[in-house]
Amino acid sequence: MTAVQARRAAPSPGGGILTPLLLAVVCSGYAVGATLGWGSRELALIMGDFGLSAAALVAAVSCLCYARRMPARLRPAWLLFALSSLMAAIGNAVWGWYEVVLDEPVPSPSVADVFFLCFAPPAIVGLLVLAKRPVSRAGWVCLALDSWLIGGSLLTLSWSLALAHTANAQGRSVAPAALSLAYPMLDIVLVSMVLALHLRRFGGHRSAVNTAVAALALTVVSDALFTSPLLRANYSSGQLLDAGWFAGSLLLAYAPWGARRHPEPARPLRQPGRPVAGSLPALTPYLAAAVCTLGILFHVVEGRRVDLFVVLTACTVVLALVVRQGIMLQDNMALTDELAEKENHFRSLVQGSSDVIMIAAPTGILRYVSPAASGVYGRDAEELTGSELACLVHPQDLGRVVHEVRRFLAASPADEPTTRIECRFRSGDGEWLNVESVVNRHQGGLIFNSRDVTERVRLQAQLQHSAEHDPLTDLPNRALFTERVHRAIGGRRASDIGTAVLFIDLDGFKGVNDRLGHQAGDELLIAAAGRLAESVRSGDTAARLGGDEFAALILGDGTRDRASREAQVVEIADRLRLTLSQPYRIDGQDVRVAASIGVAFAEPGISPSGLMRNADLAMYRAKAAGKDRVELYAPQMQAEVVRRTELAARLRTALHEGEFALLHQPVVNLASGRIDAVSAQARWRSAHGILFTPAEFLRVSGDGDRADELGRWLLDEAVAQAAERGRRGHHVPVTVRVSTRRLLDRSLPPGSVERLLARHGLPSGALTIELSDHDPRIHQDTRASLDELEQRLMALRRIGVRIALDGFGGGYAAMGALRRLPLDVLKLDRGLVDGIVESSRQYKITSGLLAIAGDLGMESVAEGVDLPEQVLALRAMGCTHGQGAAFAGALDEYRLRRALVRDDYPVTGEIALPALTGGASGGSFRMRNGSHTETRVPPA
């Protein structure tokens, strides 16, 4: 029971004592008044008759109201008590009618006697309803025998003392004699039932029932005194004897409500030894026989002749005693057999149980140990019996076990009957076993029901480890790392600004995965994790967050010099970078990856997620700044992320709001100077007036769906404008960049390009699909990775679409794509064009690649041709086409048509050197034929 429940159950200080006190005052006042004679005969008669009637009526109303609130099983008993009290009230009222109203003696017998005689039967039946009923036929027989033993003994004693004299004195008239004997007979029956049933215990609401029984007992005692010839001869209403009936009625009226005020206390556990209450039923037959013997001895001592009625009654009591003892003997034999059977069953259960059962004395000495100890602990039960329990418990667990045992013994048995203790026990071979024990009280000591849970504990530890560690590298995972970061920046370490988090990403890991397979990638991750774990200090934490991302928690040393601490942590991070960048031996070959590391320091009030986010931002800054480097977090990184997020959100609606424009850059034939094709390029001017190139806004978007949507728009718009130029007489092919991701996507079926060309009326030969050499799908090593791409490109070539490979030589060595894919045009990366005039080595590399393109029968296009010298050098190498600032930048449709009309760019010796105009702040190259700068995109 909780403290709140206890307060609710406890009676109020005033209400709980006031009612019994008032009841005692009223009864005492009545007794004093009766002793003093009430001051007048009339008042004595009124209080002796109508006062008793009023008290009995109050008891009847109280029991009736209580019965309405009772369950259906207990309701009839209290209704019968109400009827019994009502009979007493009517009887006293009739008695008062004769004495007070009519002022004449009460006749004998009278109507009042009828109601008085009707008092006992309802009370007797009510007690039978409340009593705990026997469950067997033998039980009912024993109940009847017990009732007769009590009743017969009381009858014998009463007959010897008073009833025989009353019967003889009234022997001349049958009615008065019967009436005189009826009162004591009914009282004897009532007393017999009260005693017999009370010894068997009542059911629920014991407090109310016990109070009601006490009230009935008080009434019976008063009746017995009234039956005595000596008292009855001198009795008149209002005397002290009436106080007993008055108190009995008020006590019966108080019984149900007093019980409700005073909740029944919790029954304590039975203590060792036989209680006195439990011995009374066994002594009842002998007490009955003793009473009968006293009745007979009374006649002998008085020198009277033994009454035949006493002899017959005593004989029936003795006969009932013999039968009762025979039934008890038979029950005892059956109980003995049942007890032996249960004991054998219990012994077999204990000895055959896999759990160890131990009984410890209050001193901690083991009195009993079951045989299962040999199988569980590896020690014989005889060896453990007599030893001290504390010697078996692990020293580190002993204090906790002792504390729990003391707490359990101090607790209430009703509130906590058992407890559970888990500790380590010493086994026979010296190992410590994890043991779980259910503890019960036993005669001042304890019973331990123990089982070995070592495997369960190991499994729980393994599951806990698996939940907190990465399954591949066995490093702490993100959840455990976050928890340790929380502990590191909380509590006493909250003010330590030297605590730092490092986020580490392996640069080039995806290429290893794609080139050597996932198995090799896993081996590389395991090796990198081992290096990372060996490089951090013992108190620090190295973790794998997922994929090729790792993290390290560097705990602060309490220093307040932020600059020196940052230098130390950066040195640690740089050492980690160098360690992780060393070659890895995978499948017999050396594999290299780099490491980009972001570092963030704990600030006061920062959360674990905030600190880890800062380290993540610093790591991405390191990757964006060229990889294989260490970057410290700065607040502007978060502002940049917010800006890029807002820009990405704006990009999602830019296409639908017409913020994109399509420009074209001429592709010039280096032999003739004519425009042989144009390269379609998208530009985005945001609502803030900022112009973004494709590389910028595609990097900002971070959304493949947006890139695909932009690719669809670019292809459709480029084909539409090329068809319109053709209808105006400018039949110039257009080159459009399409990602391999979109080419392999099911949303672009093979016939979609053909339908697009047909819808706009553009000849298929006027379209060139351009692939990027930097596209990772082109460089996958598996044969199946290029098969589908090759089939899609072959389908496009069959309808006349040309295929170009852009950025060749600037990224991966795309020899596999050059060997497998059906290419028509090879576009050199601008990195191969820069420096061909100044560097002979660069000249030879570019010349060799152009020779490969020529040998394969492909056209070659050089990107980023910005200087006239580059034009001459590329033409001399055999490059067929070029595009760049040396000819023109990206042009809008109007300027493009003007350039197509002119269609003449200098590509031979008549090239004039560029003139730098526009002042010191910079300008643009101007050729003999006009401006070659990119067309400005008007605001959307």
Burial class (CB in 10 A: 0-12, 13-18, 19+), 485: buried
pLDDT at 787 over 50: yes
Poorest-pLDDT segment among 3-7, 161-165, 857-861? 3-7
pLDDT at 525 over 90: yes
The pLDDT, as a whole number, for residue 386 is: 86
**Which of 22-36, 229-243, 269-283, 908-922 shows the highest mean pLDDT?**
22-36
How far is the first Cα of the chain from the last one, in angstroms, to the nearest whole number?
76
All residues at 6 or more sequence positions from 890 whose CB lies less than 8 Å from its CB, including other chains: 663, 664, 665, 681, 683, 934, 935
The pLDDT, as a whole number, for residue 931 is: 41
- Under the banding of pLDDT at 50, 70 and 90, the label for residue 371 is confident
| Residues 221-243, mean pLDDT to the nearest whole number | 71
Percent with pLDDT over 90 in the chain? 15
Percent with pLDDT over 70 in the chain? 72
- Under the banding of pLDDT at 50, 70 and 90, the label for residue 578 is very high
pLDDT tens digit sequence for 498-514: 889 999 999 988 888 87
All residues at 6 or more sequence positions from 596 whose CB lies less than 8 Å from its CB, including other chains: 504, 505, 507, 619, 622, 623, 627, 628, 629, 631
The pLDDT, as a whole number, for residue 230 is: 57
Give yes or no for a contact between 180 and 223, defined as CB atoms under 8 angstroms apart.
no
- Strands 445-452 and 356-360, by their bridges, are antiparallel
180-196 burial, b for 16+ CB within 10 Å, e for fewer? bbbbbbbbbbbbbbbbb
> Among 650, 667, 724, 697, which residue's Cα sits nearest to residue 899?
667
pLDDT at 280 over 60: no
Which amino acid is residue 742, in one-letter code?
R
Burial class (CB in 10 A: 0-12, 13-18, 19+), 39: exposed
The pLDDT, as a whole number, for residue 719 is: 92
All residues at 6 or more sequence positions from 570 whose CB lies less than 8 Å from its CB, including other chains: 599, 630, 632
Assigned token pair, 414 = 């009703």
pLDDT tens digit sequence for 456-510: 888 888 888 988 899 999 999 999 999 999 988 886 666 667 889 999 999 988 8
**Bigger pLDDT: 855 or 274?**
855
The pLDDT, as a whole number, for residue 881 is: 93
pLDDT at 266 over 50: no
CA separation for the pair 559, 445 (Å, rounded): 57
Residue at token pair 């994109």 = 660
Q: Look at the chain and count its residues.
A: 940
Poorest-pLDDT segment among 426-440, 892-906, 922-936? 922-936
**Bigger pLDDT: 48 or 323?**
48
- Starting at the edge strand that comes first in sequence, how are the strands of the sheet with 549-554 ordered? 541-546, 549-554, 500-507, 594-601, 630-632
